[in-house]
Structure 1
Amino acid sequence: METGSTRTAGNAAAEPVWKALPPGLLRMRRLLLVVWLGLPTVVAGVLLGVFAGPGWALCALLPAALAAWGWRMLGRNWRSWRYAERADDLLISRGVLWREETVVPYGRMQLVEVTSGPVERRFRLAGVQLHTAAAATDARIPGLDPAEAERLRDRLTELGEARSAGL
């Protein structure tokens, strides 16, 4: 019994602890979807119904179907994002159809930024942008709580300085 539990504990320690993005990012993206597709759909349906007849108002169903599909896809995309801090690097995983996992070694980081646009600030969200010497390994974690984004920035900066000191 003890051997099995030790093996399980050892495997659990080796696995990264993944963190998901907060639900505020999904709410923000869905609101933007409704603004960009939902409102024009209603306006087009009403205008077509009044000026061209009720048959033409059915044309507004196409953007409505697109909005419904986008609503579902935004949820799947949001659930696919996660990140994990390990001893020597940061893992970022995302993607629904094409899964992408980015590994950013702490010693390779040159700059860590916290950014937040006007819409993100309204939803109390911030993104963390990681810059490395190779542009191909730059990474971004969107939609974090601002306190978590600042904590992550400070931790990554601290670990980056510690790892690059030996170079």
Structure 2
Amino acid sequence: MTEHVEPRKRPGSVRNDRSMLDQYILPKLGDFKGIEVTRQHVQKLHNQMRDTPYQANRTLALMSKMFELSVRWGQRSDNPARAIEKFPEKKRDRWLSDDELQRLLVALSEHPNQVAANAIRLQLLTGARIGEVLKAKWEDFDLDRAVWTKPSHHTKQKRQKHLPISSATCDLLAAMSAGESTGSR
């Protein structure tokens, strides 16, 4: 895993893969050599995880990748995880209700750490990922043009993005920069 995965994946993805390996795959299949694992073993593990379809499918995908690499490296002739049908996943689109949003805004205004509260406010106003907000630098924001330029190394897609920002976002950033009560640098 260290040699193949770590140079190719983000640290969070490596942690997730390691967690799936340790929590689900090794306890069930760890006593077998890679060549001994059959389609039935993989199917049984996947079926045992049916109550958590999203996790079951991610685990199946990880096993498939592992076996695909073992085929590529000449350690196996087949991939026993290939063609195992994934469980249907119920996608959830979830937004805060008006009441939840109001409670969150009150909690943010009362929070003792307004720098952290402002990070969440910025996330609410822009829809950005928390990692993008936390990595943002003052020079990434052009308040005159109302644009946030996200450097490619700060985005999940590894592409520079120019995000228009609202006047409320500009106001928040200006107040933060000035060190006003909504936050400070």
Please confirm whether the aligned pair reaches a TM-score higher than 0.5, indicating the same fold: no
Looking at both structures, which has the greater relative contact order when contacts are Cα pairs under 8 Å and sequence separation is at least 6?
Answer: 1
- Structure having the higher helix fraction is 1
- Structure having the higher strand fraction is 1
Using the size of structure 1 for normalisation, the TM-score is 0.30
